[in-house]
Amino acid sequence: MNQEIDFKNIRINYKKSKIDFNNLQDCPIALFLDWFREALRINKDEANACVLSTVSTNNRPSSRVVLVKEINKEGFTFFTNYKSDKSIDIDDNPNVSLNFYWRELERQVRICGIAKKISASDSDNYFNSRPRDSQIGAWLSDQSLSVSMDHNFMKDLDTLQIKFEGKEVERPLYWGGYCVYPRKVEFWQGRPSRLHHRLKYSFDGERWSKERLAP
Ligand SMILES: Cc1cc2nc3c(=O)[nH]c(=O)nc-3n(C[C@H](O)[C@H](O)[C@H](O)COP(=O)(O)O)c2cc1C
């Protein structure tokens, strides 16, 4: 079926950068922010896109892209519908993973951590900063529920536009942020001949330690 696609020969020789193992930062967030700034210079629209993986109560993993909207020394915050499948997974099992892949830099960052809902006031602050259409969009759907094939979301949107006309759009209580508190952060830099550079930080509850991993 895939005879016309030459999968075996899809490969590149990574060579753009390296990790200087003799000169490392103590905190992975500081290094992450350095890499993130570089990624933003190249892809300012979606450098904050990452794959979030969760595990359901019956141990089924699931991955999807989300946009990280805040990074601070505590962790990485994204926003979503608290009734969505990912949120149901997180309610049962807060162990999650985030994966950033910055192709242009030949870099990947893998983060394992614990996801916790942020405070209602922090979610309000972010919600109030969103464009009005996005605010209304948060009221639009029960994310991840099944709908009929001919469901007309434009009609729902019109109804909501009328409902909120001349009024501030408040945050639905089922929409807000999660902060992922990192426990492990691994930086991967592609290198020639598959001799990639890997650096892993682990948090023991008090401080970060670091180790180099074989490619
Ligand atoms: C580039 C991109 C950015 C996305 N950003 C978000 C986001 O920040 N929050 C979100 O809930 N879904 C986001 N999505 C949609 C999710 O990938 C997913 O379809 C949705 O959240 C439902 O996932 P779930 O059913 O596993 O909960 C994004 C998708 C893409 C492709």
67 CB near ligand 1 (under 6 Å): yes
Nearest CA to ligand 1 atom 6: 66
What confidence score (pLDDT) does residue 125 get?
Answer: 97
Distance CA 110, CA 187 (A): 7
70 CB near ligand 1 (under 6 Å): no
Cite the DSSP H helix spans in 52-113. 85-92
Q: Give all domains of the chain, ordered by start, each with its CATH number.
A: 11-131+173-213 (2.30.110.10)
80 CB near ligand 1 (under 6 Å): yes
**Checking phi first, is residue 59 left (phi over 0); if not, alpha (psi -120 to 50) or beta?**
left
pLDDT tens-digit map of 94-127: 999 999 999 999 999 999 999 999 999 999 999 9
Q: Which of 66, 68, 78, 142 to mutate to test the pocket of ligand 1 (most atoms within 8 A of CB)?
A: 66
* pLDDT band at 1; cut points 50, 70, 90: low
Mean pLDDT confidence for 76-90: 97
25 CB near ligand 1 (under 6 Å): no
Q: Which residue has the tokens 């899809």?
A: 10
**Is 64 assigned a catalytic role?**
no
Q: What is the pTM of this model?
A: 0.94
Half-sphere exposure of 193 (CA within 13 A, CB side): 1
